[in-house]
Amino acid sequence: MLEGYKGKALEILSSIGADIGDRIVIIKPSISIEGILMPSYSLSNDIIVIKMDNGYNIGISVKDSKVALKEKKKVKTEKLNEGEIGKSEIKIISTGGTIVSSIEYDTGAVRPALTTEEIIRFMPEIKEIGKIDAEVLFSILSENMTPEHWIAIANAIGKAFKDENIGVVVAHGTDTMSYTAAALAFSLKLPGPVVLVGSQRSSDRPSSDAAINLYSSVLLAKVGKFGEVVVNMHGESSDSYTLVHRGVKVRKMHTSRRDAFQSINDRPLAKVIWKDKKVEMLRSDYIPKKELNVDAKFDNRVFLLKYYPGLDDSFLDFLVNSKKVRGIIVEGTGLGHTSTQLVDIFRKATRDGIFVGMASQCIMGRVNMNVYTTGRLLQEAGIVPLEDMLPEVALVKLMWVLAHEQDIERIKTKMLENMVGEINPRHEIDFFPRWYHGD
């Protein structure tokens, strides 16, 4: 299947019998470019996309070009040894993202192809941890995740534990990984670890974090003593350890660094030192293993409103009067404020039964709406201060709560109940990171 191709490009590729994954060459008057045929993302009918040997994808116009097939895709498989076959201990559920494409690229596979064999060929040391079993649930970039995907992942995790796996690894794109982690955390009671893992750099780059992140996640899924949803990613810019973050207290804080994921208003749960095959717990207050329960329902009639000076009230008016929202998370300024001009609209919203909760765009710290007049006025209008919850986590929690409760007082109670550690009642001074100030 020539995924994504149409028009002239499709015609040429079909005529030479090329498939995605085959090695082709495109010959132009002045240059010829060789590489692996990739699915097309282009809107144009004339573009062929190939992955060059340097790892980069390039789109090339077929105009004035001759296209030839060099080599059919090799289907390589790694034969498993006898001891590796049989009931798995660790389930790897793959949903897509750079980590999956890393494995695909390294193993020569193209698109959804994360078999157990491929994972073991990619990182043979994984075999030593325990018996793994890989499943491709879907293969999407994480910016395309929706609450429906969260439900499918939650169910797949439930099934994996019912099949007597002791831990589950979810391979996921990094863009929305923390949203998914929060959604799973609110939905699952767990008999073992659920480890979300991704990769910030694909494996065609020497600095790829795919192998270490995957290895340490499988290890953590095997030996982790906790029954909660965590994110396991590079802990610092070198390869020394990965950090295990509580799924409701983690955020992607950098667009490209390998250590982009950091615990916010919280300490990481553990470190995995992959070279020593060691999980070092940093806290003892993890959620213990419990009997499995899957309860994944989300109501996405919500909105995340980030306040800024000059915000036109009419947007908020539309939102409140649209009958399309049952809840709003306001990402306010400072301790949890917006312009007092919005107080009346918020009062109307809460009187109409819309839940309005306040988090802070500062990201770090806790909202406190008792210090300044504005906070008190907003509270009088019915806005609920959401402690130190991350705005994104508050939003996901609200989607979950709205799918489970109808009564506004019950919704408020649930939003302020510390379900899985999303509220940290006590902040320590070193939660705030240290910026370098040239000393």
Q: Please report how close the Cβ of residue 26 comes to its own copies at its closest, in angstroms.
A: 19
- Return the number of the residue (62 or 358) whose C-beta is nearest its own copies: 358
Q: What is the CB-side half-sphere exposure of residue 323 using CA atoms within 13 A?
A: 0
Q: β-strands 90-94, 57-61: how paired?
A: unpaired
284 belongs to the binding site for its own copies (CB under 8 A): no
400 belongs to the binding site for its own copies (CB under 8 A): no
Furthest-apart CA pair in the chain: how many Å? 73
354 belongs to the binding site for its own copies (CB under 8 A): no
Q: By CB under 8 A, what part of segment 32-61 binds its own copies?
A: 41, 43
- Tell me how crowded residue 427 is: count the other CB atoms within 10 A of its CB: 14
Q: For the purposes of burial, counting CB atoms within 10 Å of the CB of 281, is it exposed (0-12), middle (13-18) or buried (19 or more)?
A: middle
Q: In the stretch 248-277, what mask flags binding to its own copies with x, by CB under 8 A?
A: ----xxxxxx-xx-xx---xx--x------
Secondary structure class of 52 (helix, strand, coil): coil
Q: Which of 30, 284, 314, 406 binds its own copies (CB under 8 A)?
A: 314
Stretch that binds its own copies, among 24-32, 157-165, 222-230, 356-364 (CB under 8 A): 356-364
- What CA–CA distance (Å, rounded) separates 420 from 226? 12
* 252 assigned to active site: yes
Determine contact, residues 22/69, Cβ cutoff 8 Å. Answer: yes
Q: By CB under 8 A, what part of segment 207-246 binds its own copies?
A: 235-237, 243
Q: Which of 303, 346, 355, 400 binds its own copies (CB under 8 A)?
A: 303
Q: By CB under 8 A, what part of segment 359-378 binds its own copies?
A: 360, 362-368, 372-374, 376-377
Beta partners for residue 262, in sequence order: 251
- Return the number of the residue (137 or 395) whose C-beta is nearest its own copies: 395
- Return the number of the residue (149 or 222) whose C-beta is nearest its own copies: 149
Q: Which of 102, 300, 350, 424 binds its own copies (CB under 8 A)?
A: 300
Phi, psi dihedral angles at 144 (to 5 degrees):
-95, 5
Q: At what angle do helices 177-187 and 391-404 cross, to 10 degrees?
A: 40
- What CA–CA distance (Å, rounded) separates 173 from 99? 7
* 175 assigned to active site: yes
- What CA–CA distance (Å, rounded) separates 208 from 216? 14
Stretch that binds its own copies, among 10-18, 209-217, 222-230, 318-326 (CB under 8 A): 318-326
29 belongs to the binding site for its own copies (CB under 8 A): no
Q: By CB under 8 A, what part of segment 118-147 binds its own copies?
A: 141-147
User: Under 8 Å CB-to-CB from 172, ≥6 apart: which residues?
Assistant: 95, 96, 97, 99, 142, 180, 196, 197, 198
Q: By CB under 8 A, what part of segment 141-200 binds its own copies?
A: 141-147, 149-150, 174-176, 179-180
Q: By CB under 8 A, what part of segment 321-340 binds its own copies?
A: 322, 324, 331-340
Residue with tokens 């510390």: 418
Q: Please report how close the Cβ of residue 314 comes to its own copies at its closest, in angstroms.
A: 6
Catalytic residue ranges: 98, 174-175, 252
